[in-house]
A and B are shown apart, each in its own frame.
Chain A
Amino acid sequence: MIRPERRARILEHLVDGLIRATFWGLVILTLSIVAYFVIRGAGQLDWEFLAAMPRNRGIEGGIFPAILGTVLLTAGTALVALPLGVMAAVYLTEYAPGGRAVRLINLAIVNLAGVPSVVYGLFGLAVFVLLLGLGSSLGAASLTLGLLTLPVVVTATREALLTVPRAYREAAFALGASRRQVVLTHVLPYCRSGIMAGALLGLSRAMGETAPILVTGVAVVLPRLPTGFGSRFMALPYHLYISATQIPGMPAERIWATALTLLAMVLALNLLAGILGND
């Protein structure tokens, strides 16, 4: 017979071990995914691959237009989602009178976050590309991905704003600061890093999206660089999809190298978010 206190200790060890195993399992899983990509793709990664234009439908040459396209697209997304999202969150936490309207808006934001990305793509096609006449372009795709990222930015900003103690706001108000001054000189500066961290996480997700840009401006292979928000563009996620499925004779290591490049860019953004968040 096992004494009860002994049994409790065994159970304690068991749960402890399970939690540790889960943690290390996740770490190993993540590392092996990255490692696998590195093993399969690193051989192909050289200066030419990263910096040259594609030749022969991408079978030769480099993926520079896709890298640049993804960078520009992410920047365009940030340009749309950041100001709108931060301002919406500031309105909701600092200005809105509260009550039913705010709860309704919150509900809408939560639901917006759950809309499948392909639906955003169709919305972008209908509204930005066709209705507003932007055409298939970097601008239309940026707006579409901006909308997709908006709920993430709003939620992250709201959470960051709520971490600023009420006492700071009260002190500033009591000194005669206007609401605008309280927000600009107190609330926002104190939670800047939290907002940036949340926003970067949202952007890193947008960076890897394929469906929303598929119908709003991305090109299969484009042997020239985008010249502005009106241009069509290449992007890594879509280029990856096309290379892997639509182009016969595409060397496998080129596909892996493309995937590795995208992965590295997303991880870099996440890492930046982590660093800022720990500020």
Chain B
Amino acid sequence: MPEVEPVLSIRDLNLRFGDTRVLFDIDLDVTAGGVTAIIGPSGSGKSTLLRCLNRMVDLVPVARVEGEILFGGKDILDSDYDVVELRQKVGMVFQKPNPFPRSIYDNVAYGPRIRGKVARGRLDDIVEQALRSAALWDEVKDRLGTSAMDLSGGQQQRLCIARCLAVKPEILLMDEPCSALDPASTARIEDLITDLREDVTVLLVTHNLQQAARVSDDTIFLLGGELIESGPTDSIFTKASDTRTDDYVTGRFG
């Protein structure tokens, strides 16, 4: 099998919040396409790692990041790197659904709109396409003008995914996207993730090991801010090379 060019290469990534070290010497290649799950107990740095990849960590004033994250041949941690452009290519879905208190249409159109004027007809197409990709179109097509806050939690989360997809990202970061949802909604989001992998590389932080096993191709195990092991999901779950990984995936701690 030919070696696949990684879409993201993380080199020697270290991160501190003030005096607290949160990530230690992370080295990681993420292959393009497919779903990569990031697992590990609470406080192991999963969300923080994710937030480095779209520089959302910049919003924390005390955060100090060192190392390199190569994306498209450039280091995104470089202070010259255009964060706005980065966040268009690297979308993020949060733990709790966070639609804007506006109409469904305006939520999805927000990303394209802040990038400049888009003709109304073209915008309608983008919104429809994004909602279809997020498997929400059929449920909302007759009420695009109603407030996003009237949707159920699961619908809100799919709306947030559609909002990301509307700017055509290459990578989608998902930070425990199902932790606030019921099992039925969770199943729908998981189906959606499986469909999305065709077009976009998904990085999925999850507490739910079954979820990681169900939807991901590769799995990364973090513990105490260190990357313990990464590899194809099958081998991480069945024949982990590190005993700590094995202990975690078999439920001995965490």
Q: Is B167 an interface residue (CB 8 A)?
A: yes
Q: Measured between alpha carbons, how far is A171 from B61 in the docked complex, in Å?
A: 18
A98 touches B59 (CB 8 A): no
Q: Measured between alpha carbons, how far is A172 from B114 in the docked complex, in Å?
A: 10
A190 touches B101 (CB 8 A): yes
A173 touches B94 (CB 8 A): no
Of the four ranges (under 10, 10 to 19, 20 to 34, 35 or more), the interface on chain B belongs to 20 to 34
List of A residues within 8 angstroms of B96 by Cβ: 167
Q: Is B187 an interface residue (CB 8 A)?
A: no
Q: Measured between alpha carbons, how far is A177 from B91 in the docked complex, in Å?
A: 12
A168 touches B84 (CB 8 A): no
Kindly count the residue-residue contacts between A and B in the assembled complex, taking CB atoms under 8 Å apart.
Answer: 60
Q: Is B163 an interface residue (CB 8 A)?
A: yes
Query: 1/0 per position for B94-108, CB-CB distance to A under 8 A?
Result: 101011110000000
Nearest-neighbour CB distance to chain A for B76, whole angstroms, equals 13
List of B residues within 8 angstroms of A168 by Cβ: 98, 100-101
Nearest-neighbour CB distance to chain B for A168, whole angstroms, equals 6
List of B residues within 8 angstroms of A174 by Cβ: 54, 56, 87, 91-92, 94, 164
Main secondary structure of the interface of A (DSSP, over half): helix
Q: Is B85 an interface residue (CB 8 A)?
A: yes
Nearest-neighbour CB distance to chain B for A95, whole angstroms, equals 12
Q: Is B111 an interface residue (CB 8 A)?
A: yes
Q: Which of B61, B87, B101, B160 contacts A176 (CB 8 A)?
A: B87
Query: 1/0 per position for B182-204, CB-CB distance to A under 8 A?
Result: 00000000000000000000000
Nearest-neighbour CB distance to chain A for B157, whole angstroms, equals 12
Q: Is B14 an interface residue (CB 8 A)?
A: no
Give chain A interface residues in 155-184, CB to chain B under 8 Å. Answer: 165, 167-168, 170-178, 181
Q: Is A97 an interface residue (CB 8 A)?
A: yes
B94 touches A171 (CB 8 A): yes
Q: Measured between alpha carbons, how far is A176 from B83 in the docked complex, in Å?
A: 7
Q: Measured between alpha carbons, how far is A190 from B163 in the docked complex, in Å?
A: 19
Q: Is A185 an interface residue (CB 8 A)?
A: yes
Q: Is A186 an interface residue (CB 8 A)?
A: yes
Q: Is B237 an interface residue (CB 8 A)?
A: no
* Given A167-B94, A175-B111, A97 contacting B61 (CB threshold 8 A): yes
B164 touches A175 (CB 8 A): yes
List of A residues within 8 angstroms of B155 by Cβ: none
List of A residues within 8 angstroms of B84 by Cβ: 176-178
Nearest-neighbour CB distance to chain A for B107, whole angstroms, equals 9
Query: 1/0 per position for A108-135, CB-CB distance to B under 8 A?
Result: 0000000000000000000000000000
Nearest-neighbour CB distance to chain B for A185, whole angstroms, equals 7
B56 touches A171 (CB 8 A): no
Q: Which of B83, B94, B100 contacts A186 (CB 8 A)?
A: B100
List of B residues within 8 angstroms of A176 by Cβ: 83-88, 111, 114-115, 167
The 3 closest A-B pairs by CB, nearest first: A176-B87, A167-B98, A174-B92
Given contacts A168-B100, A174-B56, A177-B110, 7 further A-B contacts (CB under 8 A): A165-B98, A173-B59, A175-B111, A176-B84, A176-B167, A178-B84, A185-B114
